[in-house]
Each structure stands twice: as structure tokens, then as C-alpha cells.
Copies of this chain bind each other. A is one copy, B any other.
Amino acid sequence: MGIQNNIHETISSLTSAEKRAAHALLANYPSVGLATVAEFASEAATSAPTILRFVARLGFESYPDFQRALRSEIEAGLLSPLQKRHPDTHLNEPEPTTISQHVECVDQNMRTTLNAVPKSEFESACNLISDTKSGVYFLGGRFTDAIAAYMASHLRIVRPGIRRFNGQVSTWNDQILDIKPGDVAVILDIRRYQKDLLDVAKALTNRKVKIILITDVWLSPVSKYAKIVLPCGIETEHTWDSNAALFILAEAIIVSVTRANWNKTRKRLQAIEDLHWNKTE
């Protein structure tokens, strides 16, 4: 498959003007193909109809159809297969193991996340969580709830007013009643989005609660109600999505909020440490 291959196979049966079109496209693939027919034509030093005939020969119904195909190639990352594999792992790859494969996968997702989360959004989120005047509530989905717990367990030390939605889904609505307008809710929801989370988000919005949503790049429907959306890469090659990027983002938030509340935190840290942790010896 792949449009480029398609061109290579077809090119011999093309007329000379059409060949020019083919070469123009291959020359700087795929950008000219994403322009208008007229621009493509002028790039190939030919006329619009020739471009259309060319595209038809490749087997596309129409020019927009052809462009759609190009775009989906870009999405699929088929583009630049040279950059696809790391340039620096030349030879002596130490044979991929489950762990190393997963590490590479997480690496990808981390960087996707880095791209998808605007700095300003991240900072706004941290500011909201840092503000000790409002309470902060944590809630996650089936799998992401563990990450909510992780965040809460740290931030509890950093500042007061940290709460979690816990227990049965059916009790969530009761718990909402404790939340005051102006408070902050951090919701985690990745695909196979959970309807109950959406319902809670709606209810929270009605109570004027500011929602920070941590989700995947396709955005949970909760984003509709969220004041801040932090999208993460989660894709893998197998059954389970990876929540590692969410976890890492969560840690980054913890770091940032800790910095913001540092003066208050250090005392608490000391106190809680002495109190709670029992030394090994």
C-alpha cells in the first residue's frame, strides 16, 4: 500500500504531462498534493485537468478523495519512515524485550503529551491546585483512579483541603454535596470514557466547580465541562492503553505545586515524616 508505491506502479502507463505531475508530487511529497489543483498544476507545469486525470489514474474518485488519503497517511505516521526508527540505534540492538518495548512506547507517549499540553494550560492547572483557598477533589475512572489516588497522596502533604471521591459510584452524588462553589476538581478520564464521570462533571459544573481534566489526545467528553484540559498520549500496540503519560503528568503537577507551596510544605513534610513513617531501624 501507500500512495507513493501506487505512483511507482502506475507511472509507466502515464502520459508525459501526467508523469510530470507524478514527479512533481514525488519531488516534495506530499505537500503539493495538499494544495489546490491549480497550484499543483502550476508546480507540475501543466494544466488542472491533467492533474485530475492523473489522480483518477491512481484510482481516486475525486481530488478531495485523493487529499483525504494523503492526510490519513500523515496521521498514520507513514510519512517520513526514515525518521520513524531512531537514527541512533544503528546496529547492536539488544533484542527487544517486553520491558524495552514498553519503555519505547511510553517514551513516544511522553513526547506526544509534551506536545499536546500547552505550557500555559499546565501552569493554570497548577495554580488552581496550589490555591489553598479552595478545596481540591480527585476523581478517576476504572484504571485512572489509581493515579488520582497517587496525586492525592502527595498533595495531601503539600497542602490542606485535598479530598478524593472514593467508594461506590452510587455515592459520588452525595459526595458532591460537600463541595463548595469555586472549589477545584481534578478528573481523569481516558477512552472507553465512562459515562458516570461525565455525569459527575456535569453536576460539578452546575455547582460552579472548576474542572481540570486529564485525558487522552482524543479528549473525553468531559472536556465540554472542563476549565482546563490536559491531553496525554496513551497509545500502544496491544490490548491496553498506557496510562504512564498521565502518571508522569501527574508527577509533574505534584512537583510544580510543591514548589509553589514550598514554605508551607517543608514543615508539613518534616512533621508528617516523623509521625507517619516508621523508621526501618
Contacts and interface: CB of A to CB of B under 8 A. Distances in A.
A97 B115 contact: no
B83 A83 contact: yes
Interface string A177-215: 000000000000000111110100000000000000000
Query: Chain A, interface size: which category?
Result: 35 or more
A31 B85 contact: no
User: At the interface, is chain A mostly helix, strand, loop or mixed?
Assistant: helix
A84 B83 contact: yes
A142 B153 contact: yes
Interface in A1-60: 4, 7-9, 11-12, 19-20, 22-24, 26-31, 34-35, 45
Interface string A247-265: 1110110111011000001
A136 to B, nearest CB: 17
B150 A198 contact: no
A61 interface: no
A81 to B, nearest CB: 8
A41 to B, nearest CB: 15
Nearest to A225: B16
